[in-house]
Structure 1
Amino acid sequence: MGKSSIAVDIGASSGRMIHGYVEDNKLKLKEIHRFENKIVHNGKNFCWEIDKLFNEIKNGLKKCLENGIQPESIGIDTWAVDFVLLDEDDNLLTDAIAYRDPRTDGMMEEVFQTISKEHLYKNTGIQFQKFNTIYQLYSIKKNNPEILEKAKTFLMIPDYLNFLLTGVKANEYTNATTTQLVNASTKKWDDQLLDQLGINKDMFQDIKLPKTVLGNLKQEIISEIGFDIEVILPATHDTGSAVISVPETKGSIYLSSGTWSLIGVENAFPICTNRALDYNFTNEGGIDYRYRFLKNIMGLWMIQEVKRNLEDQYSFAELVTLARQSKDFISTVNVDDERFLKPNNMIEAIQHYCSETSQEIPQTPGELAKCIFDSLVISYEAAIGQIEEIYEATFDRINVIGGGCQNELLNQLIAEKTKKDVYAGPVEATAIGNIVAQLIALGEFKNINEARSFIKDSFDVKKYTSLIEER
């Protein structure tokens, strides 16, 4: 076995630490540690339990030692847009407030009074979502200006976890682009936008690229876990890591399927045209300065919430089976309707939408699941049509990656609706992409192309057509 790495992949509901290494010309994975992640309410805001997440990372590293695993490096990826602010003594000024918190309600429209929507898109190429970092910061400026006055350091969630490990402050590129504050052309913080909004640009760190060796662990961490390890930046935005794992990018649309659905193509340059703006596509940063031209769609968050509302009586697999049995149910919703972002009860939100639109109201778990899957597929089909219109080209295949690629019903529905071949896999796309970036930095792979070739040969991919399923 050659050099090996640990991917810390933290999503909206759980985190995992995966050991990745090359053996017998295959990339192999082994789960070391798994832990819960959730949004909690602190009496004022919906927040992430950042201290617990950091402790779980240390627990996972201790398990490496217990299992006789001595990896060369570790890399952390999480969701996008969320951050913390530190004072001059590096103490937290804010909790790690979650993007689903309502503090950004109305903030996007207020920003447009200072910076036009067109100018903001032309500069950053980032789609408009009310929870983008720019609107979170504007909310602080408006409602808690004293916090911004004290802030000396801006770190996104994985940046902060890296800082706790190493003592090194840096903003990683792929995640930084999701803030809607990085210039798409210069690939640096857009000082003009920050000045226009009256946000202190000095608190932002130098932007570092994936594959950057950030440093070694602080001595106090080494003493606690029992060994040292290099911290290497992957694409710290989980979708940025996931897209690295797409086995075939030529002529292919990718769909990263998880809590969110990210559908798009990999591109060598940003597309900041009026049509891309009208369709609300984003140009997020990728590895090697590639761009992820994509649309953010609500995703499997809806079925996760339905499962929770049903008090977890059913597994996801059982909900898929029940949806198959409800094949005659045809009501659908607009999955990007704001009411589905964080409703008090997802089932009631779906039922109210169907009632308001004079459709049959889903009552059973199977009908609810079928409604969600059909609605997602309609949204995917529309996004694919918009991509093909912008590119003036037809794409032959869709690569579905991430945990959602295990949903065979959804894959089949996508193939039937789009009349395109769907290739599902790899499942652990984000962890794989995270590990690959580290292994390139360590010299185990020459570049992203060689790594993708290994990925293609190492993991199962299942093909779906509009008529049949193939292995």
Structure 2
Amino acid sequence: MAHSARDLRRDCYAAVDIGASSGRVVVGFVEDGRIHLEEVHRFDNRQVRRGGHDCWDIDLLYGELVRGLALCKEAGFAPKSVGIDTWGVDFVLLDADDNLVGDAVAYRDERTQGMFEVADAIMSPEELYRRTGIQRQPFNTIYQFLALQRENPEQLEAAETFLMIPDYLGFLLTGEKALEYTNASTTGLLNAETGAWDETVLARFNIPRRLFRNVTMAGACLGPVKPSIAEKIGYDTCVVLPATHDTGSAFLAVPACDLPAVFLSSGTWSLLGVENRSPLTTAAAYGENFTNEGGYHFRYRFLKNIMGLWMIQSIRRELNGITYVVDEKAIRKGRLHQYMRVEGLGQEVGFEDLIRAADEAECAGVQASIVNVNDDRFLSPDSMIEEILEACEETGQAVPQTLGELMLCVYESLARCYRDAVEGLSSLAGHGYKSINIVGGGCRDGHLNRRTAEVCGIPVYAGPVEGTALGNLAVQMLADGVFPNLRAVRAAIAESFDVQKVEP
């Protein structure tokens, strides 16, 4: 249905929330003190193989973003502002004419293999952690820079500007450049104490300082969209910087219950932790491999990155014969496949089928095998199914023989990893926690919620599902004066959306 300019709702805001697997455009508005959401567009995210690397299809993402904003008008909305959030660590480089230098290589690409050893020869991992507070992970931006120095030094020579993925999408909409704090903090190049680029790290790792403009805090207005964009989408709007790192937005939307509480943003990654007022970069925190990512208004998300639903998403794609990287060779068929075609799975396998298979295996008394979900072997395997089977075999455990046994292995492994992370948090904080508050798509997984509560021994509060989009919208509403402070917007979120309690 077409809407005229006169009947468009303008007291609303649009959140562009793009994850590693999919993206969405969600409109939010407030009525009678309650926040209402309407999803106007959802699209798949994908990677493409270019120059021997797995890369993000930036043109696709930008096209879907603009299409989603145009669909807002078809749905009767003309948002006052737009906010964009994505995953962290990945970036683009621009030359002096603002053209892309190279591709937007994805964090799951293998180019950073061996970069730990290169980095450790420059600065000890303990010192790097004390300075940046960021968890040691092979895909961190700092290691991507080291890989780029070795493979494509000419790109660094030609580059004049560094932008992270949401920053670049905002630049395409407005022509204005900014590096938002929460996403910049994931690079391993920002000083944890000051929130500014760490000059010592940049110098020691020979990363050109000229590439980095000073960071900007969430809530700042990037500017109006270009006239050509306004014409394309059918209305004028501006871009406001939310917490552009999706977990930073998700943490904003957690209606914390039973304090002190642990927050868990559950999606492709599981980000489990707490919100602190200062970074914790002690030897003990380093030993537990917790990260200090930037949060809204210079808060700190002290958390652990856990492989999360990526394993489940990969299993589903594999069973359906879908590749994650376009033009990749066909996925190897795992040895499990020939007898996974059980009754009821004759067509496309959905997440509900995987959950049901795990429930049935549990009811049958299956003893789950356990794998280390944070092992790098699960980051980007040719076959997730094969990798799980091999991990079980290598550790002398029973190798899953059915879909239910496979899913039970993944679920139980995730729940135990959550428990270990909560215990690590408790040890570092010197006190226990009363609940786990889960937001994001993973909060709909009843099997995982139940096993998390049982294994961790504390209640789980599940919801809201659209936590990241809500946090994105919350910053825009705060910037526009709809709510006076963060406490008020979190109270409105708790009032507006159902949260399910799962007892241990």
Distance 2:292 2:252 in 1: 15
Conservation of the 8 A alpha-carbon contact between 1:255 and 1:264? yes
Conservation of the 8 A alpha-carbon contact between 1:254 and 1:265? yes
Choose from 39, 52, 73 the match for 2:47: 39
- The secondary structure found in structure 2 opposite 1:184 is coil
Conservation of the 8 A alpha-carbon contact between 1:163 and 1:169? yes
Choose from 281, 295, 310 the match for 1:272: 281
Query: Relative to structure 2, which stretch is displaced further, 223-232 or 4-13?
Result: 223-232
Distance 1:351 1:390 in 2: 34
Offset of 1:248 from its aligned partner? 1.3
Conservation of the 8 A alpha-carbon contact between 1:173 and 1:285? yes
Offset of 1:2 from its aligned partner? 7.8
Distance 2:48 2:97 in 1: 26
Offset of 1:226 from its aligned partner? 2.4
Distance 1:438 1:109 in 2: 42
Distance 1:171 1:441 in 2: 18
- The secondary structure found in structure 1 opposite 2:193 is coil
- RMSD, aligned α-carbons: 1.1
Residue 451 (structure 1) aligns with: 489
Choose from 449, 469, 476 the match for 1:438: 476
Distance 1:40 1:12 in 2: 13
Give the residue type in structure 2 aligned to 1:169: K
Query: Relative to structure 2, which stretch is displaced further, 218-227 or 93-102?
Result: 218-227
Choose from 68, 82, 89 the match for 2:97: 89
Residue 353 (structure 1) aligns with: 391
Give the residue type in structure 2 aligned to 1:357: T
Query: Relative to structure 2, which stretch is displaced further, 307-316 or 177-186?
Result: 307-316
Distance 2:449 2:158 in 1: 49
Distance 2:194 2:481 in 1: 28
Count, aligned residues: 466
- The secondary structure found in structure 2 opposite 1:185 is coil
Offset of 1:224 from its aligned partner? 2.3
Conservation of the 8 A alpha-carbon contact between 1:19 and 1:32? yes
Give the residue type in structure 2 aligned to 1:34: R
Give the residue type in structure 1 aligned to 2:226: K
Give the residue type in structure 2 aligned to 1:72: K
Distance 2:74 2:288 in 1: 51
| Alignment map for 1:36-435 (pairs within 5 Å) | 36-248=44-256, 250-311=259-320, 313-327=348-362, 328-435=366-473
Offset of 1:71 from its aligned partner? 1.0
Offset of 1:68 from its aligned partner? 2.3
Post-superposition Cα deviations, 1:334-370, rounded to whole Å, max 9, x if no partner, equal 1011110000000000000111111111122211111
Distance 2:173 2:92 in 1: 16
Give the residue type in structure 2 aligned to 1:360: A
Give the residue type in structure 2 aligned to 1:321: R
- The secondary structure found in structure 1 opposite 2:78 is coil
Distance 1:118 1:141 in 2: 23
Offset of 1:43 from its aligned partner? 4.5
Offset of 1:92 from its aligned partner? 0.5
Conservation of the 8 A alpha-carbon contact between 2:10 and 2:79? no
Post-superposition Cα deviations, 1:396-424, rounded to whole Å, max 9, x if no partner, equal 11101110000111111011111101100
- The secondary structure found in structure 2 opposite 1:410 is helix
Give the residue type in structure 1 aligned to 2:90: D
- The secondary structure found in structure 2 opposite 1:373 is helix
Distance 2:50 2:93 in 1: 17
Q: Where do 5+ consecutive residues of structure 1 fail to align?
A: 467-471
Give the residue type in structure 2 aligned to 1:183: N
Distance 1:273 1:330 in 2: 35
Post-superposition Cα deviations, 1:256-314, rounded to whole Å, max 9, x if no partner, equal 11110110001010000000001110000000111000000100100111111111732
Q: Does 1:464 align with 2:502?
A: yes
Identity of aligned residues (%): 51
Distance 2:352 2:481 in 1: 40
Q: Does 1:10 align with 2:18?
A: yes
Conservation of the 8 A alpha-carbon contact between 1:3 and 1:439? no
- The secondary structure found in structure 2 opposite 1:293 is strand
Q: Which TM-score applies when normalising by structure 1? A: 0.97
Give the residue type in structure 2 aligned to 1:90: D
Give the residue type in structure 1 aligned to 2:267: G
Q: Which TM-score applies when normalising by structure 2? A: 0.91
Give the residue type in structure 1 aligned to 2:203: D
Conservation of the 8 A alpha-carbon contact between 1:172 and 1:209? yes
Distance 1:403 1:358 in 2: 33
Distance 2:16 2:137 in 1: 26
Give the residue type in structure 2 aligned to 1:283: N
